[in-house]
Amino acid sequence: MPVKALSGANYFLTFIDDHLRKTWIYFLKNEDEVFCRFKEFKALVENLTGKKIKVLHSDNGGEYVDKDFIDYCAKEGIRREWTTPYNPKQNGVAEKKNMTIIEVARAVLYDQDTPKFLWAEACNTTVYVQNRTHHWALGKITLEKVFTGKTPEVSDFRIFGSLAYCRIPEEKRKKVDQIAEKGYLAGYSENARAYRIYLPRSRKVVVQRDVKFMEDRAFRRSRKMPSKEQSKEDP
């Protein structure tokens, strides 16, 4: 990415279940972190499912053909599949998914006039939402339900970048201090039923549950765009 994320990340890495199309996304400062992230991902999904990763399909990027990476997969019994050089179509699932993530993230950042350094939060939110929606490969069922067996909760969805006020705990304020801090929705927590809120004053993202959203005050450039009917009437 041309702009560093708030966390300092320069890249994102995705792992996609070829059958379910469920996606996991990681953010990296350097490409040499790929092997470490794969081991982290492998431990997570194998623990959650009780099943082993059998095949890993990727392109021929240097981070994927690293000797330590290849030796590790051989030791774990994971068959490696690579695309032929300069033939991205052979890795179509990943190429299309990554392109979709970037396009959606760019759209929501622009629509809400959100700082570009929140691109990682936008990408993470995109994957979070896509995992909880339908996919043509599975029919009328969400990716998350197929993976976990549980219907995902989506009633908490809000407009990315919308104005939000986070309540400051009494333990962290005095009697005359403000009781809420202004921020903007930057996503959802994977580990708790809570929101990720960007606080511009401290330039950080926090996880909060007690949040008041002002979605009616969301900027949304798309509101200002003429509809198809209006466009037809324009001279």
pTM: 0.86
Question: 119: how many CB neighbours lie within 10 A of its CB?
Answer: 23
Assess if residue 154 is contained within a domain.
no
Assess if residue 105 is contained within a domain.
yes
H, E, C per residue of 115-134: CHHHHHHHHHHHHHHHCCCE
Report the range of poorest mean pLDDT among 118-127, 128-137, 199-208.
128-137
Residues 105 and 137 in one domain: yes
Residues 15 and 112 in one domain: yes
CA quadruple 150, 184, 204, 176: dihedral sign: negative
Assess if residue 233 is contained within a domain.
no
Residues 88 and 204 in one domain: no
The closest of 39, 40, 48, 43 to 20, measured between CA atoms, is 48
Phi, psi angle pair for 198, to nearest 5°? -90, 125
Please determine, for residue 231, whether its predicted confidence score (pLDDT) is greater than 60: no
Amino acid at 76: E
Please determine, for residue 200, whether its predicted confidence score (pLDDT) is greater than 60: yes
* 143: containing domain: 11-148
Residues 135 and 64 in one domain: yes
Helix spans in the chain (H):
34-49, 67-76, 92-111, 119-130, 143-148, 228-233
Assess if residue 45 is contained within a domain.
yes
How many whole angstroms separate alpha carbon 15 and alpha carbon 140? 23
How many whole angstroms separate alpha carbon 179 and alpha carbon 165? 9
pLDDT of residue 225: 53
Q: For the segment 2-55, what is each residue's pLDDT rounded down to a tens digit?
A: 999 999 999 999 999 988 889 999 999 999 999 999 999 999 999 999 999 999
